[in-house]
Structure 1
Amino acid sequence: MKRFSNVRTLFFVPIVLIGLGVPAALAGQNECAGHAADIIHRAYPSATNADDGTLLFEGATITLPRNDSFNGDPHAVICRVWPVQPQLTLIAVPLMTERSDSENEGDIELLVADSTNLQIRQRMRLNGLMSDDAVHVQNVAFDTARYQFAPGKTAFGLRVSLEGSSRANPFGETTLWLFSIDSGELKPVLDNIVVGESHGEWDTACAGEFSEVTRTLSMVSSAKAAFADIIVTEKLTTSANTVGTDNDCHSEDKTTIVKHRLRFDGSGYGVPNDLKRIE
């Protein structure tokens, strides 16, 4: 997957978001309001209609949402009016070059459009973000919590959730990216942090081990720098299930909490490798 570089950040106010759950800032999607086809034709004027109702653009397939609510297809276009700047609409366009039950390949292009006339103002292509194999993309969603980095400067988030198909070895992961509009351009603010992860190994009846991680982000002032630090509060819960002498399934849980501090490094907030999405 392409790594984002030359990240530029601004200032801050407190924010809080977690991982595998669905924050209120994710509600209300999809908000294309019946304009998805119009938006796509404006953004990709050379796109052509396919027989199955999708659109084709330079070897990639674009799937329009079936209605204005989330329809469960992670490969469909999503739209979200930006609450802090309702004059702008955020659009995520999966550009799929391959789709099958075993493997998918594709990118996501982020678009920012004028909410009134749907003219495209900014765009950024995120290479490989829709590519998967044994672990499939299950959900793509905008995160429009109030990520205010400075007066009049606000970022929005994009979350991509993956899920494995194995019942014996369950796996789920949600990754967050943050973007802002700076000097008229769409730019990344925070690249690729896993905010939720769960996995386990069990006999599908009782015995086994499981773990779940949720990470909460908060912006805090820095005494040594003009930019905020990001405090990542990580909650790890592990469970061990065993069959008791009474043939009941017993669980022993353990929870630990650790904190990570991400500092502005001159070009952006560096994320430690152990907090990033596994390639």
Structure 2
Amino acid sequence: MRRALAFTLLCLPFAAYADCAQQFSAWARQLQPQLKLADQYSVCKPSPSDPSRTLAALLFVEKEDDDGAQYGLAVLSAKGATVERQLYEPAAITTDAITLEEVTLDTARYNLAPSLRAFGVRARYSGPSRVNQYSSTQMNLYLDQGGQLRKVLDGFEVEKFGGEWDGNCAGEFSETHSSLAVGKATSHGLADLEVTEKTVDTVAVAKGDDCNDTKSAPKVTKYSLSYDGQRYQMPSIQTAEKASSR
């Protein structure tokens, strides 16, 4: 019985996605009928604050050639097949030097003000080189306020990995994970966002037939993002380091 219940709960998110994904074509015709929908990157899920609404991020192919593609991003809130609010960002993603791996929705509790809950759109990228490795996940935050969608945080890097190695073992790598939490202080009516950034460096050295990894102690940096009335602003590196040392 417990196994059956666990399996049912596990399947619920996939069922919800499959249900709302059936509306992709209808939404695309309303938003950008002249463009091709990149449905392999488009995502949707029920709004956690209003289950009758669906949140979605649709990518549209604006340009495409042998070197890559340029995508426009439509972020929307819909009821059934009807788009109620939407924000379209042309040239939001370009993949001439990197590969777009996936787009996901982040519906964590970003309660920025009473009755105002933001949601995130994440894009994960990777580099083409095997020996010069690179990957990055970046997130925008959107707020449904006053009957319209607004982007309040642009390009926040949630994860970053990079490094160089010889293709066998020896190399140096750095990996950073950043988390967002809603703070108690407010700026221009919205809560500050508290960032905790953790970086671990790794050195790999070949010893005989073995490859030994040595990881550094995590370097933790903490700082705040304040809303300026339009967007949350990233602090300078010096300001972030100063805030972390307090």
Alignment TM class, shorter chain as reference: 0.7 to 0.9
Q: 45, 61, 64: which one pairs with 2:36?
A: 61
Matches within 5 A, 1:253-272: 253-254=215-216, 255-272=218-235
Tell me the residue number matched to 1:183. 146
Tell me the residue number matched to 2:157. 194
Q: 80, 105, 119: which one pairs with 2:70?
A: 105
In terms of fraction of residues, the more strand-rich structure is 2
3-state SS in 1 of match to 2:107: strand
So what's the TM-score if we normalise by structure 1?
Answer: 0.72
Cα pair distance change 1:270/1:258, threshold 3 Å: same
| CA shift for structure 1 position 183 | 0.6
Question: Is the Cα–Cα contact under 8 Å of residues 31 and 78 in structure 1 kept in the other structure?
Answer: no
Q: Deviations over 1:113-158 (max 9, x none)?
A: 01xx431110101222231112111110111112112232111100
| CA shift for structure 1 position 42 | 4.9
Q: 49, 58, 61: which one pairs with 1:96?
A: 61
So what's the TM-score if we normalise by structure 2?
Answer: 0.81
Q: Distance in 1 between matches of 2:139 and 2:22?
A: 27
User: 5+ unaligned residues in a row in structure 2: which ranges?
Assistant: 1-11, 238-246
Please give the root-mean-square deviation of Cα atoms over the aligned residues, in Å. 2.5
Q: Distance in 2 between matches of 1:128 and 1:29?
A: 29
Question: Is the Cα–Cα contact under 8 Å of residues 31 and 80 in structure 1 kept in the other structure?
Answer: yes
Question: Is the Cα–Cα contact under 8 Å of residues 113 and 189 in structure 2 kept in the other structure?
Answer: no
Q: Deviations over 1:29-50 (max 9, x none)?
A: 6845355454533552597xxx
Q: 161, 168, 191: which one pairs with 1:205?
A: 168
3-state SS in 1 of match to 2:213: strand
Tell me the residue number matched to 1:28. 13
Cα pair distance change 1:224/1:94, threshold 3 Å: closer
Equivalences, count: 225
Question: Is the Cα–Cα contact under 8 Å of residues 214 and 234 in structure 1 kept in the other structure?
Answer: yes
Q: Distance in 1 between matches of 2:213 and 2:111?
A: 41
In terms of fraction of residues, the more helix-rich structure is 2
What percent identity do the matched residue pairs reach? Answer: 28
Q: Distance in 2 between matches of 1:46 and 1:94?
A: 11
Cα pair distance change 1:266/1:176, threshold 3 Å: same
Residue 251 of structure 1 pairs with residue 216 of structure 2:
no
Amino acid of the structure 1 residue aligned with 2:98: V
Question: Is the Cα–Cα contact under 8 Å of residues 96 and 130 in structure 1 kept in the other structure?
Answer: no
| CA shift for structure 1 position 166 | 1.2
Tell me the residue number matched to 1:145. 108
